[in-house]
Structure 1
Amino acid sequence: MQGNLPSREYLAGLFQNVDKDRSGSITANELGAALLNGSMSPFNPETIRLMIGMFDRDNNGTINFEEFCSLWKFITDWQNCFKNFDRDNSGTIDVNEFRQALIMFGYRLQESLVCLMHKKFDRHGRGTIYFDDFIQCCIILQNLTSAFRKKDSDLDGVVTLHYEEFICLVLDAKV
C-alpha cells in the first residue's frame, strides 16, 4: 500500500463487488448501488453521472478497473476534504464550512456566489450540503473553471463571449 491508498488487490475486490453483471466495467446503476452518503442514503444520481463522465476516459458510459482506481482516489480525497470541513461530524457542511473548503481549493469567490452555490447544492433545503452534493459541486466547479480557462488566454479572469459561445462553453464543461 502507498500512503492511505489501498492495494490494487483490495481495489480489484471492491471493483468485482460493484461489477454485479461481471462485465468488466461499472455502470452508473452499479456505482450508485455501491455508494452511500454519510447519512446512509444513496448518492444523488446526478453526482454518479458526473463522476462516471469525469473518469470514463474511453467515453463508453462505464468505468473499467483503471478508471475505477482513479475514481476511488478522488472519492477518498474528496471525503478527506469533506471531513476536514465537517467540524461537527454531522455528515453535512454548512455555508461557512463550504466557504472554507472553496478557499482551500483556491477559489476566492464573492460571498453572494458562495451562498448561491451552497443553496444550489443543498438538495434537501436544510442549510447544509451532503457529501455527494459536495462532490457534484466540486466536479461542476472544476469543469466550469477548466472551460473558462480555455477562453481566458491572458489569465486575467475576464473573457468576452457571444451568447452562443457561452452556451457552448457551459455545455462542453460537462455540467
Structure 2
Amino acid sequence: MVALMDTSITGRLNSDEFLRLWRKVTMYKDIFFCSDVDHSGMLSSSQLRNAIMASGIRLSDNLLNLIALRYGGSSGNISLESFLSLVLRMDRMAKIFRELNNGGAISLRDNEWMYITMYA
C-alpha cells in the first residue's frame, strides 16, 4: 500500500500521501462492508462487481474474473484486505494511465513499463 501511494517515490509516505491513503482505505472499507450483504466477511463475484462499481471503476466480465482469480484464491471470494489491495492498485494504475494517455492510449518503452509496474 505504501508503494501505491508513494507518489514522491521516497519509500515512505509524507503526511499528504498518508492522509490520502487513510481516506481511501476508510472509503473502500465502507464500500466493502456495504457490499458484503450476507455479512460473511468476504465478497462473492457479484458483490465484488457491485463494490468495484461503487468505487467508481468500470470493468469487463473478463477483468472481473481475472481479479477474482488473482485476489480471491481458489474460492474466488475476496477478503477486506484483498479488496483494499486491489482497489488501491486499480486506482493508482488508472491515475498513471490518465497521466500518460494521449487520446485514450499510451506508448511505453519496456523499461518505462517495468518502472511503473515494479513500484506501483
* TM-score, normalised relative to structure 1: 0.56
Q: Is the 8 A contact 1:55 1:71 kept in 2?
A: no
- Distance in 2 separating the partners of 1:116 and 1:134: 14
Q: Which amino acid aligns with 2:114?
A: I
Q: Which has the higher helix share?
A: 2
Q: Give, in angstroms, the shift of residue 83 of structure 1.
A: 0.9
Superposition pairs of residues 75-94 of structure 1, within 5 angstroms: 75-94=25-44
Q: Give, in angstroms, the shift of residue 62 of structure 1.
A: 6.5
Q: Give, in angstroms, the shift of residue 167 of structure 1.
A: 2.1
- Distance in 1 separating the partners of 2:20 and 2:6: 7
C-alpha change, 1:55 and 1:77, in structure 2 (3 Å) is: farther
Structure 2: runs of 5+ lacking an equivalent: none
Number of residue pairs the alignment of both structures matches: 119
Alignment correspondent of 1:101 = 51
Alignment correspondent of 1:141 = 90
Deviations 1:47-93 (A, max 9, x none): xxx1x3326979464777x7665544333212110011111110010
Q: Which amino acid aligns with 1:149?
A: R
C-alpha change, 1:164 and 1:61, in structure 2 (3 Å) is: closer
Deviations 1:128-156 (A, max 9, x none): 110011000011111211221222033x2
Q: Is the 8 A contact 1:81 1:101 kept in 2?
A: yes
Q: Which has the higher contact order (CA 8 A, sep 6+)?
A: 2
Alignment correspondent of 2:62 = 112
Q: Is the 8 A contact 2:28 2:55 kept in 1?
A: no
Alignment correspondent of 1:16 = none
Q: CA RMSD for the aligned pairs?
A: 2.7
Confirm whether residue 167 of structure 1 aligns to residue 114 of structure 2. Answer: yes
Structure 1: runs of 5+ lacking an equivalent: 1-49
Alignment correspondent of 2:76 = 127
